[in-house]
Amino acid sequence: MKGTLRYLAGIAGPNGFGSRSTAEQVTQHCFLPYSHLTAIITGLSSLHFKWMISFEMLGIFKQFLWSRISCVPFDERQVSISSTKIKEPKFCCNTEAHHSSPRIRIFSPNLEFSEEKIELTFATNFLGHYLLTEMLIEKMIDTAKKSGIEGRVINLTSVIHSWVKPDCFSFPELLHPTKYNGTKAYAQSKLATILHAKALSRRLKDRNANVTINAVHPGIVKTGIIRAHKGLLTDSLFLIASKLLKSVSQGAATTCYVALSNETKRISGKYFADSNETNCSDLANDVSLALKLCTNSHTLIHDYLHLSLPNLSLL
């Protein structure tokens, strides 16, 4: 309740920004003395709110004279690991400095599977983007070393990652759930994105790489999840819930802050919400679980695609 009241009041955090801060406000004092950067924004789809937030960030990024902004659209119903095999290698080779921004978000009320027979929410929200990051990371490390410019990876997650209980998070169940619940599957996939940030951050630190990765909760935006649950809520409860929804610019603020601010330099493996570093769940801080998830994901993708990905023994 205390957190909700703080959110509604728009109380600023330690850095002066809060839930009501906009993307323009959190980046107005950013000063980046370089222009030869590339932003890779994934997760654009036909869903209206995704386009709006993505274009909000595109406008912010263009103000900083980024040399190239690559937008990677996905059709949620056609996402698969094998399709990535065809599209991504050329995409990876043509990029220089990579700043990967918001991840695609998907919520499915019914159990569906990807082309490889993997539960669709997990395949889309986590596995596909885990693969993309792993394919880009060596290039990012090399470019950051040569240019002296810090590379930044941002995983889009959600506050509902904290709903996941330890006994409900097992890799076999993530791939092929015996009892499916759409909200639960969504929360699990968002927990996985934080765990990935924790594990990869550890690997980057061990290699003394000038690349960071963090997880960002953009805030409560009017998404398919809210609409899907409206029928289960009374009008009064839905009215209260609607007061928590952010505008497009507010929803893009935290991602823009972590991607562009000098204050987030050298910060890695952290969780941000309302443009401030904050605490994630105990489960999301479980290092052994993070390593296990990434090891299993690495093995799974290698088995499907026979790709040579970075050696996870460094984790």
Would you please indicate which residues are annotated as catalytic (active-site) residues? 180
AA letter at 12: A
Q: How far apart are the first and last CA of the chain?
A: 37
Beta-carbon contacts of 282 under 8 Å, excluding residues fewer than 6 positions away, are none
Q: Which residues contact 21 (CB under 8 A, 6 or more apart)?
A: 12, 250, 253, 274, 275
What torsion do the CA atoms of 118, 204, 285, 2 make, to the nearest 10 degrees? Answer: -110
**Cα 52 from Cα 28, distance rounded (Å):** 20
- Smallest CA-to-CA distance from 133 within 75, 66, 203 is with 203
Number of other CB atoms surrounding residue 194 within 10 Å = 27
